[in-house]
Amino acid sequence: MLKGKKIVVVMPAYNAARTLRQTYDEVIAHDIVDEIILVDDASNDHTAAIARTLDRVRVEVHPQNRGYGGNQKTCYRLALAAGADVVIMLHPDYQYTPTLIPAMASMVTSGLYPCVLASRILGGGALRGGMPWWKYVANRLLTLSENILLGAKLSEYHTGYRAFARELLESLPLEKNSDDFVFDNQMLAQIIWLGRPIGEITCPAKYMPEASSINFRRSVRYGLGCVKVAIDFIIARGRDTGTIFEGLPPGSLDAPG
């Protein structure tokens, strides 16, 4: 608990057996975390078996792989059903440090930000942590394009470490979104559409062979998907039909804080 709010950490997992315990060991040190929910997306390794040996971890296993976005949909559904007031999504690949959980949760429970992103770009953590140069350049160019198209000022849209207020998650039509990696981007575009402020916090990152990553071909597909989301955002301003923004009440389209 933090300020009387229930804090739930969700971990969308796929083949995370080699890094899960390291991630868990840092999360469990935070006495503000009330529950950890791990959703195993039909891994080919022992992710689920290891998770079941860990205290305070609820394990859900998809019988078939549903994709990264599909995994997150299950994560958020279970967290809300468990009564979470703040949901923190953390990849179990140990790329992001769990020690930021208290700070991120505090930014949400304070009421300042219903969404908080742990940015690898702020403070230069990405390059120091070993992010490949081509991924860094792609991240910067894609983020610049999205900021222009969405009218926002985020340092990055592609972090896998995020905190959400319950009421914000309940307001998003998550089931409309993709089951693939572009799900992350769609969520942020919908939050910006609603005019809700998004906070960011500097996050160091580690790039190891064990850390999850998508290959170049899928990275290109993801990048094109992100651009399409931003174009749909613009289209929806004049015609709120046929996009993931349909039915969402538009808030101020000024850049979020």
Q: What is the pLDDT of residues 179-218, one digit of tens each?
A: 999 999 999 999 999 999 999 999 998 876 655 556 677 7
> What pLDDT, in 10s, does the model give residues 46-67?
999 999 999 999 999 999 999 9
Domain-embedded: residue 251: no
The pair of structure tokens assigned to 40 is 């195993």
Does 249 reside within a domain? no
Q: Answer yes or no: is 256 within a domain.
A: no
CATH code, domain with 29: 3.90.550.10
**Taking residues 102-127, what's their average pLDDT?**
92
- Please check whether residue 205 lies inside any domain of the structure: yes
Identify whether 44 is part of a domain.
Answer: yes
In a domain, 244, yes or no: no
User: For the chain, what is the mean pLDDT?
Assistant: 91
Domain count, the chain: 1
Instruction: Give the bridge partners for 96, in sequence order.
Output: 205
Residue 85 lies in a domain: yes
Domain span at residue 111 reads 7-238
Portion of the chain with pLDDT greater than 70, in percent: 93
Is 252 within the bounds of a domain? no
Strands 7-13 and 33-40: parallel
Residue 169 confidence class, pLDDT cut points 50, 70, 90 = very high
Q: What is the dihedral of CA 68, 70, 74, 79, to 10 degrees?
A: 50
Q: Give the pLDDT score at 241.
A: 63
Q: Which helix (H) or strand (E) holds 33?
A: strand 33-40
Strand partners, 35: 8
The pTM score is 0.92
